[in-house]
């Protein structure tokens, strides 16, 4: 897995938009599964940027999605619920009206050297696309650099898929 992670295409990532408590739990290592109502069309492993929604509204860190599994809700809760940081009540409310969901297994979480506020991501644009999955293209094709075990991202441009 280490070789696969090192070889990840750094020019394409996805953004996971999360409530701040979940983004922080991922970075703390207590949340190792992100549950989703839809299945993202990604190959694993894939690097993900962790975006904390309101009131934080900023990129906080990165992680690697190492597995994507879809299942009926009973199996999903049984297999992944304890690693999701959700109560069963929150789980039922989130998946209300659905018969199945998706679990993204997360690993190798790293905080950014500095958080990147939403207004820095927007640049000249007034809005970001509302899609949970966004691909990012780096300006001047620069790669992230490592500093003290953390990832520093160069300026990015959001490109909707």
Note whether residue 161 is domain-resident. Answer: no
Note whether residue 123 is domain-resident. Answer: yes
Tokens of 45: 């492993």
Note whether residue 108 is domain-resident. Answer: yes
**By CB neighbour count within 10 A (0-12 exposed, 13-18 middle, 19+ buried), where does 71 fall?**
middle
Domain span including residue 12: 2-129
CB 111 within 8 A of CB 52: no
pLDDT of amino acid 67? 97
- How many C-beta neighbours within 10 Å does residue 34 have? 24
Number of structural domains the chain divides into: 1
| Higher pLDDT pick, 70 / 160 | 70
Assign 8 a pLDDT band (cuts: 50, 70, 90).
Answer: low
Note whether residue 158 is domain-resident. Answer: no
Note whether residue 91 is domain-resident. Answer: yes
pTM: 0.75
Q: What is the pLDDT of residues 11-45, one digit of tens each?
A: 568 999 999 999 999 999 999 999 999 999 999 99
Note whether residue 156 is domain-resident. Answer: no
Note whether residue 112 is domain-resident. Answer: yes
- What CATH number does residue 119 fall under? 2.30.130.30
CA distance 137 to 151: 16
Note whether residue 136 is domain-resident. Answer: no
Tell me the mean pLDDT in the region 115-142: 57
């Amino acid at each position: 897995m280490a070789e696969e992670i090192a070889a990840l295409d750094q020019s394409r990532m996805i953004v996971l938009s999360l409530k701040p408590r979940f983004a922080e739990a991922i970075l703390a290592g207590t949340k190792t599964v992100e549950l989703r109502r839809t299945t993202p069309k990604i190959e694993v492993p894939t690097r993900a940027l962790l975006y904390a929604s309101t009131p934080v509204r900023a990129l906080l860190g990165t992680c690697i999605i190492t597995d994507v599994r879809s299942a009926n809700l009973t199996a999903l809760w049984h297999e992944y619920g304890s690693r999701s940081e959700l109560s069963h009540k929150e789980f039922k409310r989130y998946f209300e009206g659905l018969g199945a969901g998706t679990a993204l297994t997360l690993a190798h979480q790293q905080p950014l050297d500095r958080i990147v506020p939403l207004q820095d991501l927007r640049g000249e644009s007034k809005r970001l696309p509302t899609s949970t999955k966004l691909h990012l293209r780096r300006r001047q094709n620069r790669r992230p650099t490592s500093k003290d075990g953390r990832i520093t991202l160069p300026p990015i441009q959001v490109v909707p898929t």
